[in-house]
Amino acid sequence: MSDTYTRPIPQADEESREFYDGARRHELMLMRCKDCRAWRLPSRPRCPDCWSTDTAWEKASGRGTLYSFGVMHQKFPGFSEDGPYHYAIVELEEGPRIVSNVVGVPDDEIRVDMPLVAYFDDVSDDTTLVRFMSDKS
Ligand SMILES: [Zn+2]
């Protein structure tokens, strides 16, 4: 855990609080429809598949594959101390896609469809960000 994290931190709202609370527990939490069982991300009150409002939060596996990525070289305010980093769209095992980062994979080894697993980055005492790393299991 770092006391010196200075980059912008996402602020949970009513719809995303359970996601960020789960991240602090090192669990990837997603909304799931209690009627048709579809997982969804981002969270929203009504199921986009069957329109049900009967919803629960469930723990996802944390596994997925890299759907798309880019290597960011531009130094945006707040990120100027970062070297090139990978921003990514990860297709989760449960189906939804999440925008995140891939960490710990060299630029010449990152590739679409590579297996990934969630990595819970405790950036401050009360904030954990969900990133992904190579899943070698
Ligand atoms: Zn549904």
132 Cα: distance to centroid of ligand 1 (angstroms)? 27
52 Cα: distance to centroid of ligand 1 (angstroms)? 5
51 Cα: distance to centroid of ligand 1 (angstroms)? 6
> Which amino acid is it at 23?
A
42 Cα: distance to centroid of ligand 1 (angstroms)? 14
Write out pLDDT tens, residues 22-76. Answer: 999 999 999 999 999 999 999 999 999 999 999 999 999 999 999 999 998 877 7
31 Cα: distance to centroid of ligand 1 (angstroms)? 10
54 Cα: distance to centroid of ligand 1 (angstroms)? 8
Q: Name residue 68's beta-bridge partners.
A: 89
53 Cα: distance to centroid of ligand 1 (angstroms)? 8
Q: In sequence order, what are the residues at sequence separation of 6 or more whose Cβ sits closer than 8 angstroms to the Cβ of residue 32?
A: 38, 39, 40, 55, 56, 57, 58
Q: In sequence order, what are the residues at sequence separation of 6 or more whose Cβ sits closer than 8 angstroms to the Cβ of residue 129?
A: 9, 10, 23, 120, 121, 123
User: pTM for this one?
Assistant: 0.89
Write out pLDDT tens, residues 18-33. Answer: 999 999 999 999 999 9
> What is the pLDDT, as a whole number, of residue 81?
67
